[in-house]
Amino acid sequence: MNARADIAVIDYGMGNLRSVSKALEHVAPDAVVAVTADAAIIRDAARVVFPGVGAMAECMRELQQRGLVEAVRDAAARKPFLGICLGMQMLFEHSEEGDTAGLGILPGRVRRFADEAMYDNRNERLKVPHMGWNEVHQAMPHPLWHGIADEARFYFVHSYYVEASDPAMVSGYSLYPFPFTCAIAADNIFAVQFHPEKSQEAGLALLANFTIWNGKMVAPSDAIAQPGRSGLITS
């Protein structure tokens, strides 16, 4: 295994990391992508992906047992960092799922969709987990949205969602049936509730944007002049 990685995918024993790494390799064939639990590789990687599926308490426990909390904090403090699903939720202070403390890197909490039946405006029952392809409304311009149409659909599967204390952090939201935050942007951190690695063209475009992101929030106006991106534009 390569001791250095361009992109480290943090492996703490939860979830399907193969699809995340395969998708990254697909969009950045020249990058060294390492699925790793090695804190040194994570520390030295140029950018870090923090995925996660499953139960929040179990994820936090595994992260602690493998001694990776500091590696996550360090990466989230200073380099292009992409949280996915539970990897987004764990960045916040607290989750209703199992009354679990998160990493507290970002202010806010994680809440469950209502237990009582929810209905949409056509009076159709909305099931939990929120599972399938929903429209993502981009709440701000951001380099990771580059080339992705506003309201493009991404694949979701979750029962809990993030409620950020600072609304200025919300970079995307979806409706189920109320607007909930599905993307967060805070300096070098971008985090999404949906699964870009399972969201076909739109998801691959977001991952491709991440692999060349400099970690700055401002969408540079010259981004459109960057080469090699025209193939990523999705409807």
Partner 1 sequence: MGLARRIIPCLDVSAGRVVKGVHFAGLRDAGDPVEIARRYDREGADELAFLDITASIEQRDLILPIIEAVAAEVFIPLTVGGGVREVNDVRRLLNAGADKVSINTTAVTNPRIVADAAARFGSQCIVVAIDAKTNGNGSWEVFIHGGRTATGLDAIDWAVKMQALGAGEILLTSIDRDGTKSGFNIPLTSAVAEAVGIPVIASGGVGDLQHLSDGILLGGADAVLAASIFHFGEYTIHDAKAHMRRNGIEVRQ
Compute the CA torsion angle 91, 94, 98, 99 (nearest 10 deg): 160
Residue selected from 123, 221, 230, 235 as contacting partner 1 according to rule CB under 8 A: 235
User: Which of the stretches 33-41, 99-107, 169-177, 215-223 binds partner 1 when contact is defined by CB under 8 A?
Assistant: 169-177
Q: Active site includes 85?
A: yes
Asked if 197 interacts with partner 1 (CB under 8 A), we say yes
Asked if 89 interacts with partner 1 (CB under 8 A), we say no
Asked if 132 interacts with partner 1 (CB under 8 A), we say yes
Q: Active site includes 96?
A: no
Polymer length in residues for the chain: 235
Q: Which of 85, 97, 130, 146 is catalytic?
A: 85
Cβ count near 235 (within 10 Å) = 7
Q: Which is nearer to partner 1, 63 or 189 (CB)?
A: 63
State the Cα–Cα distance between residues 35 and 15, nearest whole angstrom: 12
CB 175 within 8 A of CB 156: no
Q: Which is nearer to partner 1, 18 or 216 (CB)?
A: 18
State the Cα–Cα distance between residues 199 and 188, nearest whole angstrom: 23
**Shortest distance (Å) from residue 224 CB to partner 1:** 23
**C-alpha 62, offset from chain centre:** 19
User: Which of the stretches 19-27, 29-37, 102-110, 213-221 binds partner 1 when contact is defined by CB under 8 A?
Assistant: 19-27
Residue selected from 37, 53, 140, 212 as contacting partner 1 according to rule CB under 8 A: 53
State phi, psi for 183 to the nearest 5 degrees.
Answer: -150, 140
Q: Is 212 left (phi over 0), alpha (psi -120 to 50) or beta?
A: alpha
Q: Active site includes 197?
A: yes
Residue selected from 32, 37, 128, 219 as contacting partner 1 according to rule CB under 8 A: 128
* Cis peptide preceding 179, ω within 30 of 0: no
Catalytic residue IDs: 85, 195, 197
